[in-house]
Amino acid sequence: MIDPSAVFSKERFYASRSPIDVEGGRTSSAASGKRGFHMAGSLISDTVGALQSAIALLADRRRSRATRREFLALGADECTGILDNIGLTRSDFDDAMRLPYASEDMLSLAMLSIGIDPDRFESRKMARNRFMSRTCITCPHRRQCHDHLAAFDFESHYQDFCPNRDNFAELLGEGHSTLSAAKSS
C-alpha cells in the first residue's frame, strides 16, 4: 500500500525540483537556486494575491446582499418611491446589486475626488435631473472606478471611462468645484 505521507512529503517535493548537476548528483547552482527562489516567491505572491481577491470579492458580495436586504426591509411602497426617484425599476435594481461594490456610494466618492461637493444644492439638483445616481448604480465600470478611487488617482483617469464625465464637467464648468470655492475664500 502507498503511504500518502511519503508521496506528499516535503523531501519529495523539494527533490523533484532540485536541479541535477553534471556529475549526476543533486546540487543546486547559485543561479538556479535564485531562479527557484524567484519562482517560488512569484508563486506565493500570486497565490496570496488570488486569495486576497477572493476574500475581497466575498466580502463585497456579503455587503451587497446586506444592503439589498436592508433596502427591501423598507417595504414595497417606500422602495418603489426611492427607485422611481432615481429612475430604476425593481429589475434594474436587482441587476445592479450584482455589480461590483454595489453597496458603495461611488457617485459621492467620485465627486469628492474631482473636487465637487456632493452635498451642495446644485450638485444634488443635477444628480437628480440627470439621473446620475442611476448611471452610477448601473455603471459597467464600477470595478475600474473603485480601483482608481482607492488609488486616489480617479481624477486623472475618469475621463477615459466614466459615463458621468459630461455631468461632472458641467458641474465643474458652472463653478461648483469645492477646490475653486476653497481658493476664492
Give me the residues that bind ligand SF4 (CB under 6 A), please: 106-107, 110, 135-136, 139, 141-142, 145, 161-164
Closest to 178 measured CA to CA, from 159, 158, 155: 155
Q: How far is the CB of 99 from ligand SF4 (least distance, A)?
A: 9
DSSP-assigned states of every residue in 93-133: HHHHTTSTTTTS-HHHHHHHHTTB-TTSHHHHHHHHHTTHH
DSSP secondary structure code for residue 177 in this structure: B
Q: How far is the CB of 139 from ligand SF4 (least distance, A)?
A: 3
Q: How far is the CB of 149 from ligand SF4 (least distance, A)?
A: 8
DSSP-assigned states of every residue in 44-99: HHHHHHHHHHHHHHHHHHHHHHHHHHHHHTT-HHHHHHHHHHHT--HHHHHHHTTS
Which residue, 106 or 116, has its beta carbon nearer to ligand SF4? 106
Match 461632472 to its residue by C-alpha cell: 168
Which residue, 83 or 112, has its beta carbon nearer to ligand SF4? 112
Are 88 and 129 contacting, i.e. CB atoms less than 8 angstroms apart? Answer: no
Q: How far is the CB of 22 from ligand SF4 (least distance, A)?
A: 59
Which residue, 32 or 138, has its beta carbon nearer to ligand SF4? 138
Q: How far is the CB of 147 from ligand SF4 (least distance, A)?
A: 10
What letter represents residue 77's amino acid? Answer: D
DSSP secondary structure code for residue 9 in this structure: -
Torsion, Cα 62 67 70 72, to 10 degrees, reads: -110
Q: How far is the CB of 86 from ligand SF4 (least distance, A)?
A: 13
Which residue, 126 or 139, has its beta carbon nearer to ligand SF4? 139
Which residue, 71 or 131, has its beta carbon nearer to ligand SF4? 131
Which residue, 64 or 164, has its beta carbon nearer to ligand SF4? 164
